[in-house]
Amino acid sequence: MSRPLPLTALKTFEVAARLLSFKRAAQELNVTPTAVSHQIQNLEETLGTKLFRRLPGGLELTSAGEVALPCLQEGFGKLKEAIDLIGNVSNGDVLTVLAPPSFAMRWLMPRLHRFAIHYPGIDIRVSTRTREFAYRSLGGVRPVPTDSLQAWCDELDVVVAFGSGNYPGFAVTQLFPLTITALCSPRLLDTTLPLALETLGQHQLLHDDRGIMYDQQSYWDTWLQAQQVNDIDTTSGPHFSHSILALEAAVDGLGITVSTPALARESLQNGKLVKPFPFEMPLSSSYYLVSNENMARREAVMAFRDWALAEAGAEREEHARALERV
């Protein structure tokens, strides 16, 4: 007969080995250091081998402990995934989606009623985040930090990411590519101050700071340099961390912004915004649906992904037309 697995002792070892401290392990596990010591001692006696060396300066893993730790960490990760999957099944078809505020308000929410009509049995719950989740280094693109993305994908079924799409270890689907272009209220076209590339410096520039946060260069600089316009001071004007704020400021006639027209389609269609210049610059960043690979196999997640891709079809077509005009 096989002996039962001492799961509590194994988990205690995993935490203590990761932290190399019985005291800190006790704090994380919400037990006493004595309880941690007893669990480790019992585990060592059960296995017939030492897992730690008790040194004057702290703990050190033995060879057996070093070999066991990675496998245990992977095993406990798999256990958590299984528990999450069981919880999702037992809770019914609840679909949780995390999205940037501007994307949620300007693209997702105006369409979400159609998902609810097509899938009445899925209870979809949308939340937003306020901090960027991809970043870039001076040497080029780096992936999203695995710990934060892993934490979000462990808690939620779908995360809408704005970035490069370079998220190894996750199920990733691009929604649609993006361009940037100048956008403003049509009222600015009727002023005595002419609106041309050469006179942009005389207008107030509104800054959608996603370019700085994700690409380390402002959208204004990217858009102007692509047209070989280098004599405009792009340092002045108000900055907005969310594109929706820059777009609303443009609608109110406060200035001109360079942003993604994909989030301004309704304002462009009803005439609240116009594109004073035809040039649209393709972006390297775009919106992606990101899920834990296990969650991505859930029927509700697959239904949402298929629906979102179908909804994004019109935007992909508009993107193709924009590139033809370049």
The model's confidence at residue 90, banded by pLDDT at 50, 70 and 90, is very low
- Domain match, 166 and 293 both: yes
What is the rounded distance in angstroms from the CA atom of residue 315 to the CA atom of residue 58?
58
- Going by their DSSP bridges, the two strands 179-183 and 281-282 should be labelled as antiparallel
- Domain match, 85 and 223 both: no
> How confident is the model over 21-52, as pLDDT tens digits?
999 999 988 889 899 999 889 888 888 889 99
What is the rounded distance in angstroms from the CA atom of residue 221 to the CA atom of residue 256?
14
CA of residue 93 relative to chain centroid, distance: 23
pLDDT of residue 4: 57
Written as six digits, the tokens of 273 are: 């915004």
Of the residues 52, 72, 89, which one is the last residue of a structural domain?
89
Q: Please provide the distance, in angstroms rounded to a whole number, between the alpha carbons at the two ends of the chain.
A: 73
Asked whether residue 324 is domain-assigned, the answer is: no
What is the rounded distance in angstroms from the CA atom of residue 309 to the CA atom of residue 152?
22
pLDDT of residue 139: 37
- Domain match, 99 and 229 both: no
Asked whether residue 325 is domain-assigned, the answer is: no
* 97 dihedral zone (left: phi>0; alpha: psi -120 to 50; beta): beta
Comparing CA positions, the residue from 318, 310, 291, 312 lying closest to residue 96 is 291
> How confident is the model over 242-296, as pLDDT tens digits?
898 999 999 999 999 999 999 999 999 999 999 999 999 999 889 999 998 888 9
- Domain match, 34 and 85 both: yes
- Domain match, 121 and 156 both: yes
Asked whether residue 185 is domain-assigned, the answer is: yes
Mean of all residue pLDDT scores within the chain = 84
Please state the pTM of the whole predicted model: 0.67
Written as six digits, the tokens of 309 are: 């891709």
- Going by their DSSP bridges, the two strands 179-183 and 256-259 should be labelled as antiparallel
What is the rounded distance in angstroms from the CA atom of residue 42 to the CA atom of residue 190?
82
